[in-house]
């Protein structure tokens, strides 16, 4: 999954989901990679944090190569729940990345480790608590207002993260995202060469048709001419 996502982006995947009518959920705004430009994609490996690193080690002990560790720390801003040792262990476990609904620390070391980590920021302090572990600790994780599990797939990059149910046709999803990417790249190249997007999308023709039929939408027009910027 990570290899397939290498030349794509979360906006392209989101557009492909819309075109295929595949539901998706987005992590709350503000999620960023520790290393600018980092990206990850893979099956969700969910875990809930209660104050101790052992829960992460247990999750990794049962992980498959290419999984993405998704950590539920309840969006807390009073502690960092991961640092360099946890990230090193994730890399050594052949995971594809790590996403935290919460904060990290050891930023300099994490950049040196060169492993995709996504969080909502950093603080110096680690946990000073030890809460009671729930039965679902290794089966599901909250990310904002929704819950994900090992039946979901995550895509993450500079724009944030989105989750898709693993039962979706992921091969088709990637193929459509690649097609959209190719079309938009051609459109961008033509703009750089002097052909405006309005000309490419026959915008004057659209305005004429809309004047004749108020129900004729821009999306109707794009579908007619094969445009890809909206769906």
Residues that constitute the known binding site for substrate: 105
Q: CA-CA distance, 86 to 82, in Å (whole number)?
A: 6
DSSP 90: H
Q: CA-CA distance, 117 to 105, in Å (whole number)?
A: 11
Q: CA-CA distance, 153 to 144, in Å (whole number)?
A: 16
Main-chain phi, psi angles of 14, to 5 degrees: -60, -45
- Reduce the DSSP state of residue 45 to 3 states and report it: strand
Annotated binding site: 105-106
**Tokens encoding 118:** 């996504």
- Reduce the DSSP state of residue 35 to 3 states and report it: coil
Annotated binding site for Mg(2+): 106
Q: CA-CA distance, 39 to 41, in Å (whole number)?
A: 7
Q: CA-CA distance, 68 to 133, in Å (whole number)?
A: 21
């Amino acid at each position: 999954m990570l290899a397939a996502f290498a030349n794509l982006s979360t906006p392209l995947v989101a557009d492909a989901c819309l075109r295929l009518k595949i539901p998706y959920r987005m992590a709350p705004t503000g999620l960023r990679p520790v290393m600018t430009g980092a990206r990850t994609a893979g099956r969700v490996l969910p875990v809930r944090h209660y104050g101790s690193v052992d829960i992460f080690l247990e999750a990794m002990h049962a992980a498959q190569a290419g999984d993405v560790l998704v950590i539920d720390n309840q969006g807390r801003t009073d502690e960092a729940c991961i640092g360099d040792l946890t990230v090193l262990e994730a890399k050594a476990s052949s995971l594809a990345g790590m996403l935290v609904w919460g904060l990290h620390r050891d930023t300099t070391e994490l950049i040196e480790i060169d492993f995709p980590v996504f969080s909502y920021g950093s603080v110096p302090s680690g946990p000073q608590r030890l809460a009671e572990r729930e039965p679902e600790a290794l089966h599901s994780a909250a990310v904002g207002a929704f819950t994900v599990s090992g039946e979901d797939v995550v895509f993450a990059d500079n724009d944030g993260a989105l989750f898709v149910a693993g039962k979706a046709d992921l091969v088709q999803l990637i193929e459509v995202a690649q097609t959209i990417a190719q079309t938009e790249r051609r459109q961008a190249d033509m703009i750089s060469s002097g052909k405006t997007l309005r000309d490419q999308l026959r915008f004057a023709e659209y305005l004429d048709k809309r004047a004749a039929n108020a129900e004729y939408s821009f999306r109707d027009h794009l579908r007619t001419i094969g445009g890809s910027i909206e769906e």
